[in-house]
Amino acid sequence: MDVRKAAPWARAAGITGLAANALLIAFYAAEIGRRPPLRFSLGSANDLVGSLGTALMIPVALAVSPGPWVRRLGLTAMTTLTLAGPALVSGLVPFRRQLPVAMAGFAGLSGWIVLTSRGNCEALPGPVMRLGIGSGSAVLAGGAVAAVGLLAPARSRTRQAAFVAGGVPATLGMLAQPLWFLRLGAAGDGPQPDAAPAAGRP
């Protein structure tokens, strides 16, 4: 694990992710259900900026993944999300087909964050580890609850309740993930656990 090497990429991914979150919130506040007030859609901007953010996560996965299969999980999810946004905006893939692929990508990314936080618990500061486990677990648990709701009849109260019960924690966890990358980047600026003892040796 090389947090210092990952730090600039993690900061860039975190900042870009926060920008994508802001565009998503603005999209729902200003555009949902009506004509976009600007010449371009905030939803399309969110898709493109979000894809840029996941592209910036790839060097982070290469530097801090605790094992080869966790690294493969992260790289697969990040590559999927990086390609999903431009594919949707360009019209190459329709929304109904892009959505399940993107949701699977977010689940993979969340799993990678949880496993990376747990696998590097001795190297990461406690707040960074807890934020990673909490945000990633919220997305996975919320997504599972929403998926169970699909088993209920369409438009039933049971399905709607499951979507709300799962969607709220999943959305909050997803919105918090850029903060994990920012805090991971900040952790890379501090003294590294394995470097501190070496500094005192002759």
Task: Flag whether 110 is in a domain.
Answer: yes
Task: Flag whether 201 is in a domain.
Answer: no
Task: Flag whether 66 is in a domain.
Answer: yes
Q: How many domains does the chain divide into?
A: 1
The string of pLDDT tens digits covering residues 85-119 is 999 999 999 989 999 999 999 999 999 999 999 99
Domain limits for position 90: 3-189
Task: Flag whether 196 is in a domain.
Answer: no
Q: Rounded CA gap, 47 and 86, in Å?
A: 7
Does the pLDDT at position 200 exceed 70?
no
Q: Rounded CA gap, 102 and 123, in Å?
A: 31
11-15, 22-26, 72-76, 78-82: least confidently modelled range: 22-26
pTM of the full structure: 0.87
The string of pLDDT tens digits covering residues 141-167 is 999 999 998 888 888 999 999 999 999
Nearest to 188, CA basis, from 1, 2, 4 = 4
